[in-house]
């Protein structure tokens, strides 16, 4: 019933809402932004739109440097005055993420906008080189670690300029049709992450993509509660169903895209809207370019309990598997 309700809601806004680009009068002159997953799809479109609004420096965070160079060439044609840098980032490597964050802290004189957009969708169970299920690693753990490690340069810039920096995490409305009970109370006494890492709990299809996005919503709320919105505004967003290569592994989704999907550019409008606008938001979920309430499964007392449990599991895991991250420095309550 919950899945049907979410599906009907999704179809309704896909057919009735028209995503809008940033207004022309929004200027980003002098600002520096990082966009992960920036060489293709929504991340690429968002990077291109940010650059077109006067962004001074843009870091395209990509796994494949050659693909990053191709994306840079196209963005540069539309925004020739933007200083575009290609930095390697692999969210299946703890070492790569730590090195990326250290580089950002050491080499950037300012960091105003971070758009954490990298992700994947698969229909089969696959493991990342870290040992975690691939969706769990890339969509959730990698994003969570980067969100911690990039707090310091964002906060430093905020204190220099006297206004909040912005961090935005790309989510999805499918988060709220995930197998909720299995997240709230994993079977066999397992932790949330260890349950999702177990192939015995996997059901073919998008049974890992959905919960990876739910974890992202819970993580956003948990981290936002530990950050001062006067320094960093953190939100997550639903970009809607978009016609991009992201769905190339899912034949049924590609077929439905013909009737329901927005373009990649329209999906990118959601990312830039969340990253630049809504100055009074923090820890929010945005959909259709506006703040939307999260379902009761997230906002309830039980949801808050699971949110805190996930925070503890995640930070404990990162300390154990990525000791070089030194996350204690970035997770203190402000």
Residues labelled catalytic: 172, 209, 213
Per-residue model confidence as pLDDT tens digits over 237-293 = 999 888 876 666 666 766 676 778 889 999 999 999 999 999 999 999 999 999 999
Strand partners, 237: 170, 286
Residue 5 lies in a domain: no
Residue pair 169/236 in contact by the 8 Å Cβ criterion? yes
Q: How confident is the model at residue 179 (pLDDT cuts 50, 70, 90)?
A: confident
Q: DSSP assignment, residue 132?
A: S
Dist CA 21 CA 46 (whole Å): 10
Please spell the DSSP secondary structure of 163-216, one letter per residue.
S-EEEEEE--GGGGGS-HHHHHS-GGG--HHHHHT-GGG--TTTTTHHHHHHHH
Q: How confident is the model at residue 171 (pLDDT cuts 50, 70, 90)?
A: very high
Residue pair 154/234 in contact by the 8 Å Cβ criterion? no
Lowest-pLDDT range of 51-60, 113-122, 204-213: 204-213
Residue pair 224/203 in contact by the 8 Å Cβ criterion? no
Q: For residue 138, what are its two tokens?
A: 């890339």
Q: For residue 73, what are its two tokens?
A: 């060439």
- Better-predicted residue by pLDDT, 118 or 181: 118
CATH number, residue 262: 3.40.50.720
Residue 152 lies in a domain: yes
pLDDT at res. 150? 97
Dist CA 87 CA 240 (whole Å): 27
Helix boundaries (H) for 208-328: 209-224, 251-260, 264-276, 296-299, 301-321
Residue 63 lies in a domain: yes
Residue 13 lies in a domain: no
Dist CA 3 CA 1 (whole Å): 5
Lowest-pLDDT range of 104-118, 143-157, 292-306: 292-306
Q: What is the mean pLDDT of residues 172-196?
A: 82
Per the structure, the complete domain to which residue 176 belongs is given by 24-330
Strand partners, 4: none
Residue 145 lies in a domain: yes
Residue 69 lies in a domain: yes
**Structural domain count, the chain:** 1
Residue 175 lies in a domain: yes
In the chain the first and final C-alpha atoms are separated, in Å, by 41
Element (H, E) at 149: helix 143-149
Assign 70 to helix, strand or coil. Answer: helix
Residue 11 lies in a domain: no
pLDDT at 334 over 50: no
Give the distance, in angstroms, between the CA of residue 218 and the centroid of all CA atoms in the same chain: 12
Average pLDDT, the chain: 91
Per-residue model confidence as pLDDT tens digits over 98-111 = 999 999 999 999 99
Please tell me the number of Cα atoms within 13 Å of 49 on its side-chain side: 25
Q: What is the mean pLDDT of residues 82-100?
A: 98
Q: What is the mean pLDDT of residues 62-67?
A: 96
Assign 169 to helix, strand or coil. Answer: strand
Dist CA 159 CA 138 (whole Å): 31
């Amino acid at each position: 019933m919950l899945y049907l309700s979410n599906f009907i809601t999704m179809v309704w806004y896909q057919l009735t809402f028209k995503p809008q680009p940033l207004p022309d009068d929004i200027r980003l002159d002098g600002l520096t932004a990082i966009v992960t997953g920036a060489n293709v799809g929504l991340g690429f479109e968002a990077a291109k739109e940010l650059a077109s609004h006067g962004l001074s420096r843009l870091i395209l965070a990509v796994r494949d440097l050659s693909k990053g160079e191709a994306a840079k060439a196209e963005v540069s044609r539309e925004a020739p005055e933007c200083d575009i840098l290609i930095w390697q980032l692999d969210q299946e490597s703890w070492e790569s993420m730590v090195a990326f964050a250290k580089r950002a802290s050491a080499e950037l004189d300012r960091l105003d906008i971070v758009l954490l957009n990298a992700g994947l969708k698969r229909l089969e169970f696959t493991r990342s080189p870290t040992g975690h299920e691939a969706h769990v690693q890339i969509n959730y753990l990698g994003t969570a670690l980067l969100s911690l490690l990039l707090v310091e340069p964002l906060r430093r810039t905020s204190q220099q300029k006297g206004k909040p920096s912005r961090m935005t995490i790309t989510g999805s409305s499918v988060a709220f049709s995930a197998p909720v009970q299995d997240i709230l109370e994993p079977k066999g006494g397992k932790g949330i992450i260890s349950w999702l890492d177990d192939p015995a709990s996997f059901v073919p299809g998008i049974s890992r993509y959905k919960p990876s996005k739910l974890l992202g919503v819970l993580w956003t709320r948990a981290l936002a509660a530990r950050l001062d919105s006067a320094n960093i505004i953190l939100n997550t967003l639903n970009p809607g169903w978009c016609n991009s290569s992201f769905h190339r592994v899912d034949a049924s989704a590609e077929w439905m895209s013909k009737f329901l999907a927005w373009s990649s550019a329209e999906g990118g409008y959601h990312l830039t809207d969340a990253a630049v606008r809504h100055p009074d938001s923090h820890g929010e979920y945005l959909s259709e370019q506006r703040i939307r309430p999260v379902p009761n499964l997230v906002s309830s007392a039980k949801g808050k309990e699971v949110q805190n449990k996930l925070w503890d599991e995640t930070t404990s895991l990162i300390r154990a598997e990525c000791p070089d991250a030194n996350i204690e420095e970035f997770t203190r309550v402000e």
